[in-house]
Amino acid sequence: MAPFSSAISNHAHFLSPKPLSHEPKHKKICSSSQSRNLYLPPHRSSIARLDSIARLERKVASKTKIFASVTDTSVETSPELVKLSKAGVWSVHKFGGTCVGNSERIKNVANIVLTDDSESKLVVVSAMSKVTDMMYDLINKAQSRDESYLSALEAVLEKHRLTALDLLDGDDLGTFLSRLHHDINNLKAMLRAIYIAGHATESFSDFVVGHGELWSAQMLSYVIRKAGVDCGWMDTREVLIVNPTSSNQVDPDYEESRQKLEKWYSKNPFNTIVATGFIASTPQNIPTTLKRDGSDFSAAIMGALFRARQVTIWTDVDGVYSADPRKVSEAVILRTLSYQEAWEMSYFGANVLHPRSIIPVMKYDIPIIIRNIFNLSAPGTKICRPAVTDDVIDEDGQSMESYVKGFATIDNLALVNVEGTGMAGVPGTASAIFGAVKDVGANVIMISQASSEHSVCFAVPEKEVNAVAEALQSRFRQALDAGRLSQVAVIPNCSILATVGQKMASTPGVSATLFNALAKANINVRAIAQGCSEYNITVVVKREDCIRALRAVHSRFYLSRTTIAMGIVGPGLIGATLLDQLRDQAATLKEEFNIDLRVMGITGTRTMLLSDSGINLSRWRELQKQKGEVADMDKFVRHVQGNHFIPNTVLVDCTADTTIAGYYHEWLRKGIHVVTPNKKANSGPLDQYLKLRALQRQSYTHYFYEATVGAGLPIISTLRGLLETGDKILRIEGIFSGTLSYIFNNLVGERTFSEVVAEAKQAGYTEPDPRDDLSGTDVCRKVIILARESGLKLELSDIPVESLVPEPLNACASSEEFMEKLPEFDYDLANKRQVAEDEGDVLRYVGVVDVVNQKGEVKLRRYKKDHPFAQLSGSDNIIAFTTTRYKDQPLIVRGPGAGAQVTAGGVFSDILRLASYLGAPS
């Protein structure tokens, strides 16, 4: 350590606790451009001898040869003390590093200060952007004995030199450059000492990194002075006294700081002052800092010392958001926050301001305004004591309930759970637990304890959890071995979600709403904590669930609409019709029902179209041709569910594809809702159907399939309504095929079967191959679906089906060949019709579910002409429910059962039902 001691001795004058403005024997010299007295230090060598000064600097400096004191103290100041103005006169502005990042931005800051019509103004500035990081990097390089610290120091010099050349001229430029080079030389010597020692104390580090604020404050004050305003700058190390309490926290000494401020102001009675943020001094007059992001804290402390009327924090965002807008695109700017709300949100990671900035101003009811320096038209967020009425205003100017103000998250945490029956009723257990945590220096973010005292769990940063677990294992080794404690368990990969709002304390049901939203988003909660103040409710969730949880609760509490991300599978006849219906109703759904349905993707068998914000449905066909990409179902699902800021996802399968139906179980397991008219899943193998329905019942994920039976008719929902209200189904009988309904409704007079089938095919009622309808398979699938809904465990093969396709025509190679040969078999059906008419009956193709006898069938049956089934027209469906309540007079549902419009309408109805379940007004 001898070389280090020598180095410190040689450069001790750089660490003098007295600021430079207090150095003795200064010579007075008058500036030619300002009516102020400046001081030239006797130890200052000629500026011209500094090799790194450019020619312009040497020219300016050779004329002035001056050096400014820290405070530019005027010799004209009256010997009598000048008192600070009364409370409420001063306005405080704080500008962060981004705001003073270059010369243009510094000029912009000066303009903002000049346009403030306050009687007195205090401006607190950070170092230029990246400079604090550069200064820490200097220390790290020097400690590591990396000689590149010298070139890094030259980069710091050059950054400020070029900025000054662009901003200043004349004596002000010479004054600043003289001070800059003096400081750089001091830093070079100090860094050399650190390089030799291979170590820097905290005091050394604080002294080095604080220079950025000194330089930015001086430059800004000179720019303001150029506009003719009497402005001085303050090195807050002369005024602000703090007591370090830990390696990352200090406590201001307000009384001592107030006295020093009065003394400083008596010698520097400016109405506009530019003060350094971030830096301060200890009671021993040793330079220190307010630690990382401490400029906000500086502004709040100075606001309290000056008894300011308000403190404005200028940043690069429009204000405080209801949630992180990078995670929740619908996050809105909060017009107001209470001190307590801002405090909570800062603690839980919201980018509001320094967590301790609230305390100084709250004591004197000084409001803090968060404003965007790059968007002066934005009013920002006001943090203050709440008024009696404090409603949030949405983008349409409507008042919204404000009992929950915002949401914040903390990632990269782990839960530590200490549990055991031996903890219950044992005094000092919690003290021992957290004493062990304190001993390893870990930070406890949240604590949750069961009322039975059986377990205590708490969250700590993941990087600290191993040390915490080891300390607890060691501390409680005897209790663990004896069985009084069962385990010290670590649950990694956790995140905290905090819900904040002052009015939560007086509003019943907030917790219920919060956990309901999380449950519907399929989020599992690992731990819960709520203080008695009820300003926040904190939950711990899996890290991978955090963003989805944030979006879910924000949507439930804060958005004025239910937002659902949709993926449309199969843009064929039904899918395309549905997309057009969605397009036509989108505006009405938003305005009248507060539902926002966003189609994030459309996929067919070959091509898919994806969007991050929602496809323009008025152009989806055109966009699919222009921007479509090769269809990939896995990529499609990942995009619709994950590449956006919407918590609720639904996939709408408009195909009749068995392969697509096979995805439903996986989609539901991932928390994706499913809506479909595809009958294949519910009429497929029984074991797969039962597995699918069991998963759907166990989760909060919804599976709607009303349109699988009867297109848009409420058949499934009617059946469920009967069962859920305790009725017992005896028999379901109906005409389930719109195609076959049309054929038999029009098979009258002299018309033949083949003639009516051709007419139905021409009208688009049949499938491209009419045999798909005439075989009865489609009706059989609908019968199976209703049978299984009624509780019967039947397979498709259990249902006998009477096919209307003549046996010889099953072998036809094409539908054209089939249609050509069909007239040869008209006689068979004509004979059956004649027999029925002779007895006053009509023929109808029906499906039957016989619940009592646990069977079903699909066949051609005869009905009397006064029977409801004989009264149909067109392609109508009709279904009769015979139950214990409706035994003598069956409950009948009748209406159009075929066609793209009604089927798409049934799917649309299911989507809106899903929206209602997710929180939209019903």
Catalytic residues: 782
Q: How many CA atoms lie within 13 A of 598 on its CB side?
A: 22
Q: Are 705 and 677 in contact (CB under 8 A)?
A: yes
Kindly give, in sequence order, each residue whose CB lies less than 8 Å from that of residue 318, ignoring residues fewer than 6 positions away.
Answer: 333, 371, 372, 375, 378, 380
Neighbour-count burial of 484, counting CB atoms closer than 10 A to its CB (0-12 exposed, 13-18 middle, 19+ buried): middle
CB-based contacts of 354-357 (< 8 A; 24+ apart in sequence): 354/293, 354/294, 354/295, 354/296, 354/297, 354/300, 356/249, 356/297, 356/300, 357/296, 357/297, 357/299, 357/300, 357/313
What secondary structure, in 3-state letters, does 483-495 show? CCCCEEEEEEEEE
| Structure tokens given for 458 | 């708490």
Q: What is the residue whose two structure tokens read 């924000």?
A: 554
Signed CA dihedral, 161, 166, 170, 171: sign only: negative
Task: For 116-147, give the DSSP string.
Answer: ---SEEEEEE-PSTTHHHHHHHHHHHHHTT-T
- Amino acid identity at 335: R
Provide CB contacts within 8 A for 122, sequence distance 6+: 90, 91, 92, 93, 273, 275, 302, 303, 306, 308
Single out the residue of 193, 209, 204 nearest to residue 11, CA to CA.
193
Please give the Cα distance from 857 to 780 (Å, whole number). 8
Strand 562-569, strand 399-400: pairing: unpaired
Q: Is the dihedral of CA 757, 763, 764, 765 positive or negative?
A: negative
- According to DSSP, residue 355 is labeled G
Phi-psi region of 712 (alpha: psi -120 to 50; beta: other; left: phi over 0): alpha
365, exposed or middle or buried, with CB in 10 Å at 0-12, 13-18, 19+?
A: exposed
Treating both helix axes as pointing N-terminal to C-terminal, what angle do 55-64 and 170-197 enclose, rounded to 10 degrees? 110
- The two tokens of residue 124 are 């607190």
Please state, in angstroms and rounded to a whole number, the distance separating the CA atoms of residues 38 and 682: 89
Q: Cα-flanking dihedrals φ and ψ of residue 542, to 5°?
A: -60, 145
Task: Tell me the three state secondary structure of residue 454.
Answer: coil
Q: Which pair of structure tokens corresponds to residue 675? A: 């809506």
Strands 607-610 and 629-630, bridge-based pairing: antiparallel
The whole-angstrom separation of Cα 677 and Cα 573 is 12
* Positive or negative: CA dihedral 915, 916, 920, 922: positive
Q: Which amino acid is at 368?
A: I
Helix residue ranges per DSSP H, 280-324: 295-306
- Contact between residue 504 and residue 511 where contact means Cβ atoms under 8 Å apart: no
Return d(Cα 134, Cα 140) in angstroms, integer.
10
DSSP helix/strand/coil, 221: helix
